[in-house]
Amino acid sequence: MDSRFEVAVGAGTMMSASGTAVRFPHRWTPGGVTVEADFTGGHLLHLAAAGCVLNDVYREAAALGIVVNGVRVTAAGGFDTATWQSTGIGYSVEVSSDAPAGQLARLLEVVDQVAEIPQAIRAGATVRRTG
């Protein structure tokens, strides 16, 4: 996986302790989320995917009755510098929970299917200047 544009988001027991992480409020966790990312377009694209996955882990876990103590999502990828087309985004998810491994694996399968931003990126989108 090309990691030139790597980001990480964490919540609950898996929040970042790095002094460079930025903390934001979060509807699913009382302590908020931490974000580790540079402020470039590539990082922000990957952050959108990672943040969506993190949110959906909490949402889908609640729907499945799984208690989640913490989540950390790392996303990374690169770009073809001739066209600036993405070479793809890879993401990994760590979940802190007392739920059985099979339930957590099912949770992550569901999240991969329903996460809106990864779906939108996979489908492609027209982007145009309007003003």
Return the percentage of the chain with pLDDT > 90, whole number.
Answer: 85
In whole angstroms, give the CA distance from residue 19 to residue 123: 36
Among 36, 37, 73, which Cα is nearest to 57's?
73
pLDDT band for 2, please (50, 70, 90 cuts).
Answer: low
**3 confidence band (pLDDT: 50, 70, 90):** low
- The predicted model scores a pTM of 0.93
Secondary structure letter of residue 2 according to DSSP: -
SS3 state at 18: coil
Does the pLDDT of residue 1 top 90, yes or no? no
Q: Which residue segments constitute the domains of the chain, with CATH numbers given?
A: 7-123 (3.30.300.20)
Both tokens assigned to 40? 């470039």
